[in-house]
Amino acid sequence: MTDRLAHRILGDPPADIVFCHGLLGRGANLTTIAKGLLPHSSLLLDLPNHGRSGWTSAFDYLDMADAVAAEITRSCDAPVTLVGHSMGGKVAMLTALGHPDTVARLCVIDISPRASDVRPRFEPLLTALRAMDLTTLRDRADADARLARAVPDAATRAFLLQNLQHSGSGWRWQPNLDLLADELPAIGGWPELGLPPNTCPVTWIRGERSPYVSDQDLPVMRDCFPNVRLLTVPGAGHWVHADAPQVVVQAIADLLAEPVEDLSRP
């Protein structure tokens, strides 16, 4: 993966916080959190096959982590505080493990360093998006109405429809929907690297109503990141940063205050 990742910097460069979004998201989804952390400057990445970034022929977490590390090196004053949600949380963890010199602190939102089945949540969404006939689409209101049958929750539809872009005289989806649908097992997976743990400060945030982080995952997380603190957000689901943005902002602000003198691996 050689293409640069599309990104936006919020605040004055160079950025000292970098955000990695989740599946079917884009960097702009984390804007509210980034604004809450000003005057810290944030780099909002579009991960491969999402947003304005390029498409690939396969899904590979290690390639994505390499791309994130390269973008940090080019665009930031490394090491940075790296924040990742869901799929982006796995990318962030693998970046910290594979490129420890680029990450001073890590915040992982609602995902664990293990394989998890994402198909029940995301397969229906991808099916609904792929089934929409964009050639007959009139406007966004029409898209929302068509999507409502398969996706009755208005907030979820709004999240998905951010990916719908007007292109020339027609419409297109920014994410590589066909690849993402085919690669859901890989997206839910976790590559075993055999790398030493990273001892940087880590804040691990989970939503109380989300199934993606269990108490049984804590020993696995500590094997990768011994200096981890788990925060459970009451009432929040998988999109914790949308359900409780102020809590997430405060958690990252607290993480930014953590000393990072000892970044060496044991």
Catalytic residues: 86, 178, 238
Say whether 42 sits in a helix, a strand or coil.
Answer: strand
Q: Per-residue DSSP letters for 193-220?
A: --PPP--S-EEEEEETT-SS--GGGHHH
Structure tokens at 202: 């880590």
Residues present in the chain in total: 266
Distances (CA, A) of 224 to 98, 197, 202, 204: 11, 4, 10, 12
**In a 3-state reduction of DSSP, which class is residue 171?**
strand
What residue spans of the chain are helical by DSSP H? 31-36, 61-75, 87-98, 119-131, 140-148, 154-161, 177-182, 184-187, 218-224, 240-243, 245-256
Return the bridge partners of 81, or none. Answer: 17, 105
**Beta-sheet pairing, 103-109 with 164-167:** unpaired
